[in-house]
Amino acid sequence: MNRRALWIGLAVLVGAVVLFAAWAAWTTYQVNRDLTAAVDDATALRAAVEGDDDDAVQASLGRLRDHSAAAADRTAGLTWSVLEHLPAYGDDARGVAVASAVARDLADAGVEPLVRVSDDLDLIVPAQARIDVAALEALQDPVAAGRAAFDDARARLVGEDSTGYVERLRTKYRELTRQVDDAAAILSSADTALRVLPTMLGSDGPQDYLLVFQNNAEIRATGGLPGAVSVVRADDGQVRMTRQVAANTFGRTDRPVLPLTDSEEAVYNEILGTYFLDANLQPDFSRASDLWRARWEQVYPERLDGVLSVDPVAISYLLGATGPVEVGGVTLTEDNAVDELLSRVYQRFPDPAAQDRWFRRVARTVFDKVSTGVGSPQELVRAIADGVREHRVFVHSFDDSLQEAIAGKAVAGDLVTDPDAAPQVGFYLNDGTASKMSYYLRYDVSVDATYCNQGVQGLAGHATLMSDAPEDAASLPDYVTGSYATYGGKPGSQLVQVYIYGPVGGQISALALNGKPLRGPGPILDQGRPVLNATLLLDPQEKVDLTWRMKTGANQTGDIRVSVTPRVGSGSTSMPVDSAC
């Protein structure tokens, strides 16, 4: 009898295990089905928003909420709790549960408020040279709610260790984390923009901004030589261009327009403060803005409230949203703007004065095109966001409260000087030939975190630089080839000044060119950051390699931000690097 009872008990136990396994498998199948459907719903929702289809938006959002909620409910029950405690696969079950809960919460608290105001996007872009300030203010709360939801989702996803997940789940989990992180960053920028734009657009009184077009054909640390500069006035949302000036008309001053630090003079010499065109030899856009304002206000009556900056690549993005413009018989499009603005102009207009006049006409024409309205607000917002992400669009406000709001964002173009911030590595370039040969400069930069020792990371850097100028570059106009002879070069060669910034409190060593150590003065400290300079003379089609080693400052264990001068052509040169700690 006892033996029979034992067999019956074992049979019941085995049956229960089989039933649980079957139920767990069925639950897992349903969760996978729900999450897959939620991904499809999110894709359909995005297409519906971009297509301005209100009925499809509501239907897609409803399905997204239903499917994500179903997955979250299934992974919150007893069955899933047991799966999370199983050996080998428990962490995978936990990862699925976290992803499901994140998807549900984002659908409710993150996506829904943003979808609710998606129809109002056309109110936040210019129309008839005016932006509706009240519409911007109405968007502040929904965007702030969306930002908070995505920030929370990012923290929850990052808080899980996905290294032990099975490969398929690990790949999907990390992709979800990346997408949420990207969305959180975009919403953070949007939230900041909505908080500062009403004041910047003159809700409290007229504002004057210096609009600087950086010319990447003559490279500078922040992008390019300041070419055409204009004053843009904003008054209660109304925007207009009031004055245009060629930057080269400022000439040099006898002494710096603002006092320079010892490190600024040591690294860049006093030309940083005496020549308007060289204020951005150094990489801090805030500092360049201060120097530009000081020189501007010595010459012109406007008291500047801030500085804005774009480059020709960013202009090409804007033209992708607005459509082509015609300037002096030349049609500028998204596809040809970079070549026209950085190369063909010098062949079309040999006279520098004629070049400057054409650049000013381009600036006004593109400004008028953007400010009078575009067909797709989403495309314009995306164009500006791409320019900001690639460090081609910068904003600086001389209002301390507004500047504090954007500090640390990509749009501010700050040089990191806080030892407690994420470690930043800088790789910045300046033309030394007074030429327009940077149009042909190609470069790639990589940094790897190689070790972590007691809160200090070791970093290895590598950069490849190449002159893609044609072999017959000597036939290019003199204005393009510049003062090559001064530096012992030949027509078409270019002198490139490289400035490598280590993290705050860090070290730089072992700088080498093509594997051979570069001898010279050691690093100079600039605001607590070690700086090394290398001077490279590149002939047409010549390629060189630079390598170096670094250490971060103490207790800088986070991911590394690598900031690189934006290049000619689309795409970002800057990048994040995973921490070694």
Q: Between vectors from CA 228 to CA 212 and to CA 242, what angle results, nearest 5°?
A: 80
Residue 344, pLDDT above cutoff 90: yes
Question: Is 167 inside any structural domain?
Answer: yes
Residue 6, pLDDT above cutoff 70: no
Does 427 lie in the same domain as 301?
A: no
Any long-range contacts for 358-362 (C-beta under 8 Å, 24+ apart)? 358/327, 358/328, 359/213, 359/227, 359/228, 359/246, 360/228, 360/230, 360/244, 360/246, 361/327, 361/328, 362/228, 362/315, 362/327, 362/332
Could you tell me the two tokens for 159? 């808080």
Name the helix (H) or strand (E) containing 230.
strand 225-235
Query: What is the structure's pLDDT at 87?
Result: 76
Does 95 lie in the same domain as 238?
A: no
375: pLDDT confidence band, cut at 50, 70 and 90?
Answer: low
State the Cα–Cα distance between residues 260 and 12, nearest whole angstrom.
84
**pLDDT tens for each residue of 78-129:** 766 776 777 766 787 787 888 888 888 888 887 887 777 766 666 777 878 8
Residue finishing a domain among 394, 428, 461: 394
Query: What is the structure's pLDDT at 16?
Result: 38
The Cβ of residue 74 has, within 10 Å, a number of other Cβ atoms equal to 20
Residue 26, pLDDT above cutoff 50: no
28: pLDDT confidence band, cut at 50, 70 and 90?
Answer: low
Question: Is 200 inside any structural domain?
Answer: no
Does 369 lie in the same domain as 429?
A: no
Residue 29, pLDDT above cutoff 70: no
Q: What is the pTM of this model?
A: 0.86
Residue 20, pLDDT above cutoff 50: no
Count of domains observed in the chain: 3
State the Cα–Cα distance between residues 369 and 319, nearest whole angstrom.
9
What DSSP string runs through 113-151? HHHHTGGGGGGSS-BTTB--HHHHHHHHHHHHHHHHHHH
Query: What is the structure's pLDDT at 38?
Result: 67
Residue 546, pLDDT above cutoff 60: yes
Question: Is 188 inside any structural domain?
Answer: no
State the Cα–Cα distance between residues 240 and 232, nearest whole angstrom.
6
486: pLDDT confidence band, cut at 50, 70 and 90?
Answer: low
Sign of CA dihedral 120, 122, 125, 127: negative
Q: Any idea which of 141-155, 327-341, 548-562 has the lowest mean pLDDT?
A: 141-155
**pLDDT tens for each residue of 168-200:** 777 777 887 888 888 788 788 788 888 899 999
Could you tell me the two tokens for 76? 């919150």
Tally: H helices and E strands in the chain: 17, 18
Residue 44, pLDDT above cutoff 60: yes
Q: Which residue has the tokens 């201060």?
A: 290
Q: What is the DSSP letter of 86?
A: S
Does 256 lie in the same domain as 353?
A: yes
What is the C-alpha end-to-end distance of the chain, expressed in Å? Answer: 63
Query: What is the structure's pLDDT at 563?
Result: 96
pLDDT averaged over the chain? Answer: 87
Does 234 lie in the same domain as 145?
A: no
CB–CB of 496/488 below 8 Å? no
Residue 506, pLDDT above cutoff 70: yes
Does 451 lie in the same domain as 371?
A: no
Question: Is 9 inside any structural domain?
Answer: no
Residue 238 maps to which CATH number?
3.40.630
Residue 194 CA: distances (Å) to CA of 63, 106, 144, 201, 447:
30, 21, 9, 11, 34
Residue 32 CA: distances (Å) to CA of 18, 58, 399, 521:
21, 24, 51, 60
Question: Is 373 inside any structural domain?
Answer: yes
Does 211 lie in the same domain as 114?
A: no
Does 84 lie in the same domain as 212?
A: no
Question: Is 18 inside any structural domain?
Answer: no
Does 212 lie in the same domain as 178?
A: no
Helix 2-50, helix 90-105: angle, nearest 10 = 40
CB–CB of 458/473 below 8 Å? no
Does 144 lie in the same domain as 71?
A: yes
**pLDDT tens for each residue of 514-537:** 999 998 888 999 999 999 999 999
Residue finishing a domain among 344, 361, 394: 394
The residues pairing with 444 across neighbouring beta strands, listed in sequence order, are: 464
Query: What is the structure's pLDDT at 189?
Result: 79
Taking alpha carbons only, the member of 463, 459, 443, 439 closest to residue 451 is 459
| pLDDT average, residue stretch 500-526 | 94
Residue 557 CA: distances (Å) to CA of 177, 420, 427, 457:
20, 10, 20, 7
Residue 434 maps to which CATH number?
2.60.40
State the Cα–Cα distance between residues 10 and 14, nearest whole angstrom.
6
Question: Is 13 inside any structural domain?
Answer: no
**pLDDT tens for each residue of 380-428:** 888 888 999 999 999 999 999 999 999 988 999 999 999 999 999 999 9
State the Cα–Cα distance between residues 183 and 146, nearest whole angstrom.
10
DSSP 3-state assignment of 284?
coil
Range of the domain at 563: 418-577
Taking alpha carbons only, the member of 384, 347, 376, 333 closest to residue 51 is 376
List Cβ neighbours of 567 (8 Å cut-off, separation of 6 or more). Answer: 216, 441, 442, 443, 573
Question: Is 10 inside any structural domain?
Answer: no
Does 245 lie in the same domain as 316?
A: yes
Query: What is the structure's pLDDT at 9?
Result: 42
**pLDDT tens for each residue of 224-256:** 999 999 999 999 999 999 999 999 999 999 999
Does 356 lie in the same domain as 490?
A: no
